[in-house]
Amino acid sequence: EVQLVEFGGGSLQAGGSLRLTCTASGFTFHNADMAWYRQVGNECELVTISNRDGRLYYPDSVKGRFTLSQDIAKNTVTLEMNSLKPEDTGVYYCAAERRSWGGNVIVGSCLKVRDFGYWGQGTQVTVSS
């Protein structure tokens, strides 16, 4: 059974930094597609995606502020978030094993997005102005 667990969320003021980590059991991040999404209201927004060939993609909303890294030995992925803004507030999800592509923003719950086969339970990030 595959399990993804995110931790590191919290509440902070705008301009601050936060680090989110996703751990996996039953799944290896190395050479696999994975992504971070966030639930903002009724929309599931892509935060970053790492392709199995190592390419990273960040949408303009987070480019230059967020950085994804991977620890192969620990089988974890980390999302470093800097210069946080109130609009970064949301529930952040780790996702793995890409199966399709529905775009950067999907209406509805992230947990119902079929673009990735495995999802964590999410961690709340709240940024106040």
Q: Is the pLDDT of residue 122 over 90?
A: yes
* Region of residue 97 (left: phi > 0; alpha: psi -120 to 50; beta: else): left
What digits encode the pLDDT tens for the residues 60-111? 999 999 999 999 999 999 999 999 999 999 999 999 999 999 999 999 999 9
pLDDT for res 73? 95
Tokens coding 13: 């003021």
pLDDT for res 92? 98
pLDDT for res 54? 85
CB-CB neighbours of 61 under 10 Å: 16
Query: Which of the four pLDDT bands, split at 50, 70 and 90, describes residue 5?
Result: very high
What digits encode the pLDDT tens for the residues 22-62? 999 999 999 999 999 999 999 999 999 999 988 999 999 99
pLDDT for res 72? 93
Burial letters for 22-54: b for 16+ Cβ neighbours within 10 Å, e otherwise? bbbeebebeebbbbbbbbeeeebbbbbbbeeee
